[in-house]
Structure 1
Amino acid sequence: MARKIGSRYTANQILGRGSAGTVWLGEGPEGPVAVKLLREDLASDQELVGRFVQERTALLGLEHPHIVTVRDLVVDGNDLALVMDLVRGTDLRTRLERERRLAPEAAVAIVADVADALAAAHAAGVVHRDVKPENVLLDMQGPLGPGGAHPALLTDFGVAKLIDSPKRTRATKIIGTPDYLAPEIVEGLPPRAAVDIYALATVLYELLAGFTPFGGGHPGAVLRRHVTETVVPLPGIPEELWQLLVQCLAKAPASRLRASELAARLREQLPILAGMPPLDVDEPDLSEDPEEEPAPASPAGEAPVRRRGAVSLVPGARPDSNRDTHTSMRVPAPDELAGGAHGTARAPRATGAPRPGSARHRAAVRRRRITLGVAGVVLAAAAGVGAWWASADGDDGAPRPAHSTSAP
Structure 2
Amino acid sequence: RLPAPAATSALPVTPAYISGDDGHVVLTSVLRRSTAASVFADVLGRALFQDLRQEGGYSYSAEADYSPRDAESATLTAYADALPQKQDAVVGGFVDTLARLRAGRIEQTELDSVRGKLLKVYDAPDLGAAVLPSYALSLLLGHRILTPDQHRAELNAVTTQDLHEVARQAWDTALLQVPGRAVDWAGLTLAPQFSTAAVTGTRHRSLENEDVTLVIGAQGVSLLTPRGPVTVSYDACAAMTARPDGARTLTGLDGFSVTVEPTLYKGVTPDRIAALDAAVPGEAIVRMPAREPDHIPQPRKRPPAARAAGAGGSVRGWTAALWLVGLLAAAWGVLCGVVTADESALADPEWDAVTGLWIMELPLLLATWKLFAARRRRTRS
TM-score (norm 2): 0.21
More helix by share: 2
Q: State which structure, 1 or 2, has the greater radius of gyration over its C-alpha atoms.
A: 2
